[in-house]
Amino acid sequence: GASAGPVITRLSPTIGGHGGGVRLTVTGTGFGDGFGSTNELFIGTMACEVLQFYSTPTQLVCDTPEFRDPDGEDDVYLPVTVVVDGHEVSECGRNDCDFRYYRGHSPVLGRIDTPALAGSRTLVTYGRSWWYGADQAWRYEMRFGPNDERCDLYPEDDDEEPIQHEATGGHWGLVACRTDELAAGYYNVTMNVASDRG
C-alpha cells in the first residue's frame, strides 16, 4: 500500500529567545533523506535552514532564526511546518507543533562592571538569562576591541569561576574574560550564548 505522509510528532525545545540560535530538533516520520528528496523547515513564515549533518528521515535539526516582531510582542507562538519535496506537512501527531519565541529567554547584556581597562585586564559583564542551559564557559563567546577580537573567559580571581550566577535564583549573573592590550579608545562588547533553551 501507499506509505503514510510525513508527520511531526515532537519539537525539542519548544521555547527560545527572540535572538534565535536555538538548536531545534523536529522529530517525526516520513521526512526526506536529504539526498533523493529535500526538506524545508519553517517557523511561522521564517525559514529555518535544515542542518543536513544532524538530520535523518525521522529527525530534522535547525538553528532558529532571529525573531523580529513589528508589533513588539514579548511572547509569540508560531507553527512549525516541514515541506518535503514541495509538499507541506500539516499533520502534527498528538502534540502541539508551535515554537514559542519568548523575550524572557533572550540574553540581555545589562552592564559592564569594568568600564575602563589598562593593559591586559579582566573585563566583567553583567546580564540576564544566561542560566538557561548555559552554565559552562564553552557556551560563551565574548568579543571586544577594534577588530572584534575574541575575549577568552577567565576568572577575575584564581579561585573563582568565569561565570557566576546570583544566589537568588540565577536570573542575572557575571561573566568575566581576559583582554589583550589595546590602544586607547571606546570599543563595543558583544556576547553570543549557546544555550539549549535560547
| Domains in the chain: ranges and CATH | 7-105 (2.60.40.10), 108-193 (2.60.40)
pLDDT digits (tens, 9 = 90+) for 107-158: 667 767 766 666 556 677 766 655 455 566 666 777 877 787 777 776 555 6
User: Of 165, 153, 163, whose CA–CA distance to 122 is shortest?
Assistant: 153
99, burial (CB in 10 Å: exposed 0-12, middle 13-18, buried 19+): buried
Is the distance from CB of 24 to CB of 63 less than 8 angstroms?
yes
Which amino acid, one-letter code, is at 42?
A: F
The pLDDT assigned to 43 comes to 95
pLDDT digits (tens, 9 = 90+) for 48-73: 999 988 899 999 999 999 998 777 77
User: Of 133, 188, 148, 142, whose CA–CA distance to 162 is shortest?
Assistant: 142
pLDDT digits (tens, 9 = 90+) for 63-115: 999 998 777 778 899 999 999 888 877 677 666 789 999 877 666 677 677 66
Q: Where are the beta strands (DSSP E) in the chain?
A: 7-12, 15-16, 23-29, 39-43, 46-47, 59-63, 75-84, 87-89, 98-102, 108-112, 122-128, 140-144, 149-153, 163-165, 172-178, 189-193
Assign 104 to helix, strand or coil: helix
Which amino acid, one-letter code, is at 105?
A: H
More confident residue, 160 or 57: 57
Which amino acid, one-letter code, is at 193?
A: V
Q: Where are the beta strands (DSSP E) in 107-168?
A: 108-112, 122-128, 140-144, 149-153, 163-165
Q: How confident is the model at residue 163 (pLDDT cuts 50, 70, 90)?
A: low
Place of cell 529567554: 105
The pLDDT assigned to 91 comes to 72
